[in-house]
A and B are shown apart, each in its own frame.
Chain A
Amino acid sequence: MTISVKMDTVLLLVMIAAATAVFAFDAITEKGIADGVPYIGVVWLAYYHRQRHWILVAAIVCCLLTVFGYFVSPPGSEVWKSFLNRGLCVFAIALTAVLCNVAQRTQQRLRNSEENLQLLVSQRTDELARSNAELQISNEQLEQRNDELICTRDSLEQSNTELQQFAYVASHDLQSPLRAIAGFAQFLEKDYQDKLDESAGDYLRRIVDAAKRMQTLINDLLAYARVDARAVPFRSTSLAAVFDDVVELLQVDIADVGGRVTRDDLPTVNGDPSQLSQLLQNLISNGLKYHGQSPPHVQVSAQENGGEWVVSVQDNGIGIESKHHDRIFEIFRRLHSQDQIPGTGIGLAVCRRIANRHGGRIWVESVPGNGTTFSFSIPVQRSQIV
């Protein structure tokens, strides 16, 4: 038997004992004492029993005992007083029973609520624990991804450094033998002029030209590699100012071809001023170089388009066939021979690298015989950096 069952039994026994005692007391003593008021205690005891019906049972029994007590020890005189007393007692017992009932019911309801709440809390706790576990897994995955990215970035950085070292060494070490080739060929030219026939002189000239040409190629490659190597942090740059500087730089070339270079309003963007200058210079210079019969006219304009500036450099030159539109941006890929139009073919490759570095793209629109428009995009500068 559990404690609570034991307690209940004990309680009932106590109640019975108490009722018996009160009854005996009532029967033995004279009028005015007991009568039934102590029975309230018995009913109140029933409140502590787990089963609610005992309150009712106790109440009924006590009422009956109160009534019965009248007959066991009838009062001598003043019968109506006894009636009133016992009547009031019955009323008090009934009231106590009701109160106890209500109290017990409220308690029961409270206990139910508590149980419900605990159930809810434990449910929520379980849910939270589950969510937490999922978040933990997510977190671990993110961290792993992050580590992978850091790894990739580190290896890319190292790769970049190695490439730059390679470019430095290659350019440096390749030039010494070139110097020997050119130098000694030139010595032959000068010192053995009278002993050499025209062919020999021609051969030597070609040797020297090739060596010089190779040096130019090496320097161009270096310039291409430097676009990212010598990266300066971006700052607010006025493209109009850059344009004006470039045009001043190209004054002689413009005059030589009898050309004109003009611009519309150009925006201020976030970028590397020297690289943007190089970019514009290459494009404008191309516009002047690849001209047709009429004097070259190069026009630079800009338009905002969905969060980026599109800057266009348009010329009235010979144009480019669409099948070449991708090729021309590759290193050393040219569409003309050195005799036709000189150049190494690094200009547009550098332009593309610069455009990419600035978060944009570069492309060309052109019809042969109808001029060319090179356009590049740069994201619009959101915050004004003064």
Chain B
Amino acid sequence: MMVMQANMLRPAEILLVEDNKDDVFLTREGFKRAKLAVNLHHVENGEECMAFLRKQGKYVDVPTPDLVLLDLNMPIMDGREVLAELVKDESQNHLPVVILTTSASDRDVLHMYKLRCSAYATKPVDFDQFQSVVKGIADFWFTVVVLPSAPK
């Protein structure tokens, strides 16, 4: 998937924040089998996510993601805390964050939208459907939507 930035096409950078190794594998496969060539970066929990976005520690040279796929239930720092933190951070709060999680509970959905997530999607059990969801997200965010460029 190509992204237009500064009049150049470059591959889309996606940060996947997810602790379950199987779900990480499935997500990668989802993009791969949908023939979406994206640069999928992965971190295991919220703390690593913040470090990645702030390019701290071992993440000094990472690219800024165009889209963050955020799971909710993770150890150390979960998705809710990440989003709350991101919203406050002036240098990060322009990033599109799509919650990609198992829970479809009303309470969670409302809470995350109130925290101003960009979208909320649930992960189906069936892989074909899962792949559709992943492809749908990529299609929407990289072809329909106009993404912001990083703040100066």
Cα–Cα distance between A215 and B127 once the two chains are bound (Å) = 13
Task: Using known A-B contacts A168-B103, A168-B105, A180-B22, determine if residue A175 contacts B29 with beta carbons closer than 8 Å.
Answer: no
A74 contacts B by Cβ under 8 Å: no
For B125, the closest partner residue in chain A by CB is A215
For B19, the closest partner residue in chain A by CB is A176
CB distance from B120 to the nearest CB of A (A): 14
Q: 1/0 per position for A179-191, CB-CB distance to B under 8 A?
A: 1101110110000
Task: Using known A-B contacts A186-B127, A215-B125, determine if residue A180 contacts B105 with beta carbons closer than 8 Å.
Answer: no
Q: Are B106 and A183 in contact (CB under 8 A)?
A: no
Q: Are B130 and A183 in contact (CB under 8 A)?
A: yes
A172 contacts B by Cβ under 8 Å: yes
CB distance from B20 to the nearest CB of A (A): 5
Q: Are A172 and B127 in contact (CB under 8 A)?
A: no
* A168 cross-chain contacts in B, Cβ below 8 A: 103, 105
Q: Are B73 and A172 in contact (CB under 8 A)?
A: yes
For B122, the closest partner residue in chain A by CB is A175
Q: Are A183 and B103 in contact (CB under 8 A)?
A: no
A92 contacts B by Cβ under 8 Å: no
Task: Using known A-B contacts A168-B105, A187-B29, A230-B106, determine if residue A176 contacts B23 with beta carbons closer than 8 Å.
Answer: yes
* A276 cross-chain contacts in B, Cβ below 8 A: none
For B33, the closest partner residue in chain A by CB is A190
A45 contacts B by Cβ under 8 Å: no
Q: Are A179 and B73 in contact (CB under 8 A)?
A: no
> Which residues between 131 and 182 of chain A lie within 8 Å of chain B, taking CB atoms?
168, 171-172, 175-180, 182
CB distance from A205 to the nearest CB of B (A): 12
Q: Are B130 and A179 in contact (CB under 8 A)?
A: yes
* B123 cross-chain contacts in A, Cβ below 8 A: 175, 179
Chain B interface residue number, banded: 10 to 19
Cα–Cα distance between A214 and B102 once the two chains are bound (Å) = 14
Q: Are A211 and B106 in contact (CB under 8 A)?
A: no
A320 contacts B by Cβ under 8 Å: no
Partner of A187, one of B23, B103, B126, B127: B127
Cα–Cα distance between A215 and B125 once the two chains are bound (Å) = 7
B85 contacts A by Cβ under 8 Å: no
A208 contacts B by Cβ under 8 Å: yes
For A182, the closest partner residue in chain B by CB is B125
* B23 cross-chain contacts in A, Cβ below 8 A: 176, 179-180
A334 contacts B by Cβ under 8 Å: no
> Which residues between 204 and 241 of chain A lie within 8 Å of chain B, taking CB atoms?
208, 211-212, 214-215, 230
CB distance from B103 to the nearest CB of A (A): 5
Q: 1/0 per position for B1-45, CB-CB distance to A under 8 A?
A: 000000000000000000010110010010000000000000000
Q: Are A179 and B22 in contact (CB under 8 A)?
A: yes
Q: Are B128 and A186 in contact (CB under 8 A)?
A: yes
Q: Are B103 and A172 in contact (CB under 8 A)?
A: yes
CB distance from B59 to the nearest CB of A (A): 26
Q: Are A183 and B26 in contact (CB under 8 A)?
A: yes
Cα–Cα distance between A172 and B79 once the two chains are bound (Å) = 15
> Which residues between 71 and 117 of chain B lie within 8 Å of chain A, taking CB atoms?
73, 102-103, 105-106
For B105, the closest partner residue in chain A by CB is A168
* B20 cross-chain contacts in A, Cβ below 8 A: 176
* A177 cross-chain contacts in B, Cβ below 8 A: 22
Among the interface residues A171, A175, A183, A211, which one has the most CB atoms of the partner chain B within 10 A? A183
Q: Are A178 and B103 in contact (CB under 8 A)?
A: no
Q: Are B102 and A176 in contact (CB under 8 A)?
A: yes
22 chain-A/chain-B pairs, Cβ below 8 angstroms? A168-B103, A172-B73, A172-B102, A172-B105, A175-B123, A175-B125, A176-B102, A177-B22, A179-B23, A179-B123, A179-B124, A180-B23, A180-B26, A183-B22, A183-B26, A183-B127, A183-B130, A184-B22, A186-B128, A187-B127, A211-B126, A212-B126
Give the 6 A-B residue pairs with the shortest CB-CB distance, closest first: A180-B22, A183-B127, A186-B127, A215-B125, A175-B102, A183-B26
